[in-house]
Structure 1
C-alpha cells in the first residue's frame, strides 16, 4: 500500500449489547450490500502527555482489514477527519519519521510511546443506492488495554514495556456510520441516523475509540485541552480577541509545517504568512502586555527569515519564467530559460533544505512551546477592558500613523533609497492590515473594509518590491551569461520590461493609498460598527 490521504466522514454511536442494527428495516431506503467480518488489532501512539489526543489527533499502527498500516487522523470538522495512511513496514515499536511528519509540529522532539492497544471484532455492512456504495455501517465489539504508566511521564525514549496488567479495562460495543468519500455527507447521515437512534443508539461522547480509553483511565482533563480558535463575540475583551487570533495562526503554522514537510509547493509561502501574522499580532499588541514577548517576536522573526530564501526564489523564478513566456520567440536569444531554471531552482532547493533543517531543530521546537505557553497564560494589562473596540482603535491608529510616516518618506526621501523606502512602507501596510484583521471581530464590517484597503496598499508595494528583486537577479543572470559566452540580450530586454512594470506599480500604489483612510478615520472605522 502506498501512502494515501483521504477525508473520512463518520459518526460513532454507543449501543447496548442487546441492540439490533437496523439493516433489515424495509424502510431504510438503502440496499444492504456485502457484509464482511474483520478482526482489527491497533496500537495507538502518543507522547506521554497525550499531546496528540488533546488536539483530537490519533496515530496508530493497525493490522487486519484492507487498509492495514500506519494511520494518522487529524480533525477537520465536526464529523470529518483527514486520514493519512502509510504502509505497515517493519517498524512496530518506533513510529517511522514519515508517519510523524504530518504531526511533527505537535510532537516536536518528545518521545512517542505506545499508550493503548485496541482489538475490534467488526461486522461491516455496505449500504448501496442504485448499485453504488453510499455508506458503511460497522458493528464493533471493542476490547482495550492501557499501556501508559506514570513512569512514562518522565520517560524520554521509546518504551519497550508491554503495559500494566489492568483488569479494569473498558470493553464496549459501538456502531460507526461512515459516508463513502465523494458522497454528500449531510443527506446520507440525516437519512440513516434516525434509524440508528430508533434502535437504541445514541451519539458517542468520544470522537475516537482511544478517547474512550483515555477518559476511562482518568487522563481526559478538559482544563488541559489547548484553546481552540472559536469566533469571538463582538463584545469580547481584547485578551479574548488576541488569543483567538494567536490560536488561529498557531494552528495555521502547524498545518503548514505538515504541508512543507510533505513537499507542498505552497507550504513555505503559507507558513511564512502564518509566522508574519503571529509576529505582527504580538507587535501591534505590545503595549497591552504586562511583559512584552520580545524574545518570542525575535524567534518568529528568525523563523520568517529561515523560510524567506526558498519562497523568494520560487516567486522570482515563476515571475521571470512567465515574463519569458510572453516574449516572441525571435527575442529569446540563447539558453535563457535553462539558465533561469538552473540558477533559481537550485536556490529554491537550497532554501527548502535550510528550512527543513530548521523545522527539525531544537530552536524551532522551543518556539512552538513558547507559543503554546503564551496562549495558555496571556497576561495583558488591558485584558478586562470594557470596550475592546476603543483599545483596538488606538492600536490601529498607531499602526496607521507608522504607515503614513513611511509613505511620506517615500515621497520626500533620498531618490537613491526610493526602493528601500517603498519596501519599508510595504511592511508598515502589512502591519496595519493585520491590525485591522485583529480588530475585525469587534469592529465589524468597517474594520474588515480597512483590512482590505490596507491589503491593496500592501500588494501594490509588494508588486513593486518584486520588480526590484527581479531587476537585481536579471542583472546577475545577464552578467553570468556574458561571462559564459552567451547572448545577454534577452536578460536586458526583461530588465527593461521590469522597469516599466515598476512604474505601473507606483501608479497602483498611489491609487490604493488614496482610498486608505488616514489614522483618525481608520481608528473610527474600528471603534464604531
Structure 2
C-alpha cells in the first residue's frame, strides 16, 4: 500500500463471550445481540441493537453473573418476556495489526481472530476458524450481484399481500426498535413510537381485503391503547415546547422573576409522572400480549384471497375507497363554524376513530 512505512503489532487479546437468547432465538431473529464477555478493554455485558442502515447501538453494563435488569428491559420488545439463557460460547485469540502511514497516522487496521465456538444447547456442536477483518475507508458492497438481477428484482410483479406485509413488518420493526429508546427517555422516541402505532392501525384497517379483520381488529384496539398510554408523555413534550417558545417570544419587561427555571421545574415534575405512565404501559401484560400478536401477524399473516392478486389493483381500490370515506367525513367538518372543534373532527376523519 502506497505510503505505508511500517506494520505495528498490538498485544494478543484473549476474549471469552457467552451469547444469550431465547429458546426460539428471538434476539438474533431481530438482529439484536446480547453477550457477556470477559477479556479485552470492554469486558462486561453488551446489548447491541440495530439502527437504520448497517449501524448498531451498543448498551453496556458491568460484569455480573446474571443478565442485568436494565438490559433485560431494553430487550423486552424483542424477547417478549421469554427467558434468556446461554446459547453459544465463543472464545477468540485476537491479534491486531496496524498499517501506519509514512507521515504518521493509521491507514488501516487488520484484526486476525482464532475463533473457537461451542453451542451450549443440548447435543450442541463446536467449530473453529480464523477470521480476518480489514477496516479501511472506501469499501462498499453492491446491492445486486448483477445488472440482470437488478432488472428482474425491479420488474417482477408483486402480490398485494407481499406489498402490504412488507409495510406492516417494517412498522412492527420500527415499533419494536423504539422500545429501548422510550424506556431511556430519548428525544422524540415517544412521538415516533406513536406514529408507528398509528401507521399500523391505519394499514390494518385500510387493507382489510388483504388481512382478515377478525385477527387484525383486536390488534388495532391494542395499538390504539398503547398510543393513548404514550400520549400523556407526548402531550407534556409538546406543551413544554409551546410554553418555552411563548415565554421567549414575550418582551423581556413582561417576564418577571425566574420564569424559565419555574417552567423547567414544573416540566420535570410533570414529565416524570407522564414518563412513568409510559414505562408502566411497556411493562404491562397487555403490551407483552400485543408484541406476541404483532410477531404472529408478521410470521403467520391471516391473508385473504385478494392477497394473491396484483398489488396495483388491490391497493388502488383500497386507497380510492378510503379517499371516498374521508371526503364524506370532511364535508360536514369543513362546514363547521370557526372554534367549534374542527381539529377534532379532522383528526377523527383521518384516524377513523
Query: What TM-score, normalized by structure 1, do the two folds share?
Result: 0.59
Cross-structure match for 1:350: 273
Task: Give secondary structure in 2 for the equivalent of 1:105.
Answer: helix
Distance (Å, rounded) in 1 between the aligned partners of 2:223 and 2:297 = 13
- After TM superposition, the structure 1 = structure 2 runs for residues 61-460 of structure 1, keeping only pairs within 5 Å, are 61-76=36-51, 80-89=54-63, 91-92=64-65, 94-129=66-101, 130-149=103-122, 168-179=125-136, 185=137, 187=138, 189=139, 235-292=157-214, 293-333=216-256, 336-338=259-261, 340-378=263-301, 379-386=303-310, 388-413=311-336, 415=337, 418-419=340-341, 421-429=342-350
Displacement, 1:63?
Answer: 1.1
Displacement, 1:46?
Answer: 0.8
Change (3 A) 1:377 1:108: closer
Q: Which has the larger radius of gyration?
A: 1
Change (3 A) 1:174 1:411: closer
Question: How many residues are matched?
Answer: 338
Change (3 A) 1:327 1:416: closer
Distance (Å, rounded) in 1 between the aligned partners of 2:212 and 2:34 = 39
Retained in 2: the 8 A contact 1:289–1:381? no
Retained in 2: the 8 A contact 1:109–1:362? no
Retained in 2: the 8 A contact 1:41–1:62? yes
Change (3 A) 1:77 1:127: farther
| Alpha-carbon RMSD | 2.7
Deviates more, 1:36-45 or 1:48-57: 48-57
* Per-residue Cα deviation, 1:361-388 (whole angstroms, up to 9, x for no partner): 22111101111111222212310113x2
Distance (Å, rounded) in 2 between the aligned partners of 1:287 and 1:36 = 62
* Per-residue Cα deviation, 1:67-106 (whole angstroms, up to 9, x for no partner): 222122334578x4415142433x22x2102223443210
Change (3 A) 1:395 1:405: same
Q: Higher helix fraction: Structure 1 or Structure 2?
A: 1
* Per-residue Cα deviation, 1:91-126 (whole angstroms, up to 9, x for no partner): 22x210222344321012111101121111111112
Retained in 1: the 8 A contact 2:190–2:230? yes
Query: What TM-score, normalized by structure 2, do the two folds share?
Result: 0.86
> Is 1:49 aligned to 2:24, yes or no?
yes
Task: Give secondary structure in 2 for the equivalent of 1:48.
Answer: coil
Change (3 A) 1:351 1:62: same
Task: Give secondary structure in 1 for the equivalent of 2:340.
Answer: helix
Change (3 A) 1:407 1:30: farther
Distance (Å, rounded) in 2 between the aligned partners of 1:333 and 1:124 = 62
Instruction: Give unpaired runs (5+ residues) of structure 1.
Output: 1-25, 150-163, 180-184, 194-230, 432-529
Retained in 2: the 8 A contact 1:310–1:348? yes
Task: Give secondary structure in 1 for the equivalent of 2:90.
Answer: strand
Displacement, 1:146?
Answer: 1.6
Instruction: Give unpaired runs (5+ residues) of structure 2.
Output: 142-152
Change (3 A) 1:427 1:245: farther
Displacement, 1:399?
Answer: 2.1
> Is 1:33 aligned to 2:5, yes or no?
no
Displacement, 1:147?
Answer: 1.1
Distance (Å, rounded) in 1 between the aligned partners of 2:154 and 2:235 = 35
